[in-house]
Amino acid sequence: PGAGGSEEIFTGRVSQDGTWDATYGTDGRYFLPLGSGYHGAVRDMVLLPNGKALVTVDALDVDNTSSIIVMRVLPEGGLDQTFGTSGRVQIPCPGTGCNVASLALDAQERVIAVGSYLGDNGPEVMVMRWLAEASPLGRTEADVREQLRVYPVPATDALQLDVPAE
């Protein structure tokens, strides 16, 4: 545990010669606070085109409720305070025991997360797609209203919906 009893996640960056990269954190290492009341295990990290990274943690809170915590890390270390709440987004697990097995970027630079959880009928596969620059709840309602196109109005038996790609 780190300062104040909050569990910390270790991140580091190594130079091409195998030594710690001194431009990252303190001597190549950075400890990120997971958040009060959570403990967990880091599962994967993906480097974003802008130099930031997303780190996923399979987490449990004090009531042993499963969730996924996504942390956005700045290129020089530390949490990106413009992401979610203090650099973190907490995603409730649809069952118990969420496990993010892998992260990757798709062709539109969206993050794909693959994993599993335990549902009511046994193990379930979990696949999610995240926008790395999204708000804590994804796109905001104001963003959608400005860019969304719905037609024809009035609709008869079908309604078309255009949402522009990010």
Q: What is the pLDDT of residues 5-59, one digit of tens each?
A: 568 889 999 999 999 999 999 999 999 988 888 888 888 999 988 899 999 999 8
Q: Hunting for tokens 């530390």 — which residue is that?
A: 78
Instruction: Give the type of residue at 65.
Output: T
Nearest to 100 by CA among 120, 80, 71, 76: 71
pLDDT in tens, 70-85: 999 999 999 999 888 8
Residue 28 has, within 13 A of its CA and on its CB side, a CA count of 9
What is the rounded distance in angstroms from the CA atom of residue 29 to the CA atom of residue 36?
A: 21
pLDDT of residue 138: 44
Q: What is the DSSP letter of 54?
A: E
Where are the strands (E) in the chain, listed by range?
8-12, 29-33, 39-47, 53-60, 66-73, 88-92, 96-105, 111-119, 122-130, 149-151, 160-162
